[in-house]
Structure 1
Amino acid sequence: MESWERSRRRWQHAFFASWLVLTSGGALMEAGQVLPVVLVAGLAAWYAVWFVLRSPPSGDVPVPYVLGGGLLWLGLFAVDSSFLVVGLSVLVPYCMDAVRVGLVAVVSCAGGWLWHRFHANGTITWTEIAISALIAISAATAVGYFNAVARQSAERKRLIDELQAAQEARAAAERRAGVAAERQRLARDIHDSLTQGFASVVMLLEAAQATLPDNKHLTQALRAARENLTESRRVVGALRPGELDECGLPEALRRLSDRLSDETGIEAHTVITGTLRPLDAQVQAELLRVAQEAVANVRRHAAAERVTLTLSYMEGLVVLDIHDDGGGFDPERAASGHGLSIMRERMEQLGGTLLVESAPGAGATVVASLPAVAPIGAR
């Protein structure tokens, strides 16, 4: 949309230049003086300073510009009354943005022209009044049309900016989901290939060592195999929550609540409802991370006495509910923090939702729900 704004500015500059020439050209030729030329050039330079070099935001009215332009116009008007309509050039930058400013310019132009005719001839004919009214009506219609186009363009620009921001946010979420899925894939591949392979090698070398206990090379090979087995398990643990590999999501949640009770004295327990069934590995991993983040928030902020983790198996859906009876908080103010944002992003990446219910002094509830199987695009 920057190109649109530059194009709009160029048309505004052309509008100002043409209007300034139109309103001052004839008067300059009739005046035949140097001072009006200097003042008109000064008005053009003053406009350039504020709208070419500085480029204020659309619709913004710099008061110094209006005052300076008004003084230059008053100087022209003092030299010759025929320069009256030149003053409208000062308002040209706002005719397309503000209807009221445009209408003031139109009325001033019509009234100024009639005053000039009266000043020059001592009278005003009905024909001149009719011509002035027609010009004012036509100009007012043009101002309204230009303003409607400008507002429509501004609204279109806002919608395009919002769409672009949404697309960028979606692309970022997809990148994060891709990274998470790749980490899960690597963890599975390492566990199913290298880790299992090293475990088999260790078992074979241990059997061989039982037959040849004093073989130096066999001992070194066994030590190297054990070290690599340990390292592969460490890498898998870094790539995905280790508790899930050992015991699954329900038991991992029970261990999380037990640790919270043991380490803080908070009464915490886990409830499992519905019929247990296998869940997608990524669904389990993300729900466990949400539970860990929520429990960490309880530790740091809630001052709670009781925490309940509820895992509910529903048809095609799994729901995790973390409730505490602590001090609570304002969800709208807390939404800007990283913890809730990260949890919400994790749910949205897998087609789920995150709901936070809380109020000061009323505890807090975090509800995360996901399809039981992760979407294909999230794998």
Structure 2
Amino acid sequence: MSWLADDDNEYDEFDEDLIRVRPNPKANRPRTKRRPAHEDAQEGRIVGVDRGRYSVLMAEDADDERFITAARARELHRTPIVTGDRVRVVGDTSGEAGTLGRIVSIIERTSLLRRSADDTDQVERVIVANADQMLVVVAAADPEPRARLVDRYLIAALDAGIRPLLVVTKTDLADPSDFLAHFDGLDLTVFTSGRGHVPLHDIGEHLIGHSTVFVGHSGVGKSTLVNALVPGAERATGHVNQVTGRGRHTSSSTVSLRYRSATGSGWVIDTPGVRSFGLGHVDPTHLLSGYPDLAAIAKNCPRGCTHLVNANDCALNEARAAGELSQAQQARLDSLQRLLDTFNERSS
């Protein structure tokens, strides 16, 4: 049928068959949220992160380790990918120079160690994934040990379901007995190290079969210990400023290193030294998990007890008033209540 016009020069009918429609498959394609299945993806382990590029171990056979460089796929958006993550990778996974794989998904994590800038900041900083142990490194002197910083490490570890260990270095400079008394009663394995005595074998035996994240204040000898345990690690070491008493940041990134011995292997995850460790991301009700001996006493507290200094009928306060707490327990209770005060102020 053709167009028909009347005397008023208007169209009486319109034949749609005469309209020419330009094909545009892309515009006409229905939108979908389905993503590629990536059935050919291979599993790998993140061992290092550097400016948007990820070092991935694709084969964990001790005789055939293959490392590649990979980038984040667009579908992951801003999902954090951290050292220790198990991931699925597609693309070029040969590991040859100039090649680049693509990380398309993160395998479910077994643990996640986090910290915040301070106790009032609830924005978490992810440190490492899938670690099952934390080795806290502290010096007996130079710099002076900080029991409250170690308390924070322990709380973060226990909150994440990670077993804590403690190493005290530089025991040739000072006796760590008074410092270690602060942790009496805790289920905490402790190693001591000094000039001429570094228990590498004993520490190494606790690393076998585990993924252990090393944490510590700058200048305590953490990177020196890592280098001794993992020959060839070449982690940068520094010194303590004699004026400020602070260590200089040396390790600037978190990396996973393979620990090997005649009896087995494990992973050592070295982190940059920190001078503070915020717990703003931790649920205040979980703080007692860092003090198992106090938690046992707190079971006698009334429901909803805040455990603060002025809390009525608090079993912890009553035990202190009755002289039933050891000196170390009193010090830990002071530390706990300071943390609880901080969280109480944050929520008010």
With the length of structure 1 as denominator, give the TM-score of the two structures.
0.17
Which is greater in Rg?
1
Structure number having the greater strand percentage:
2
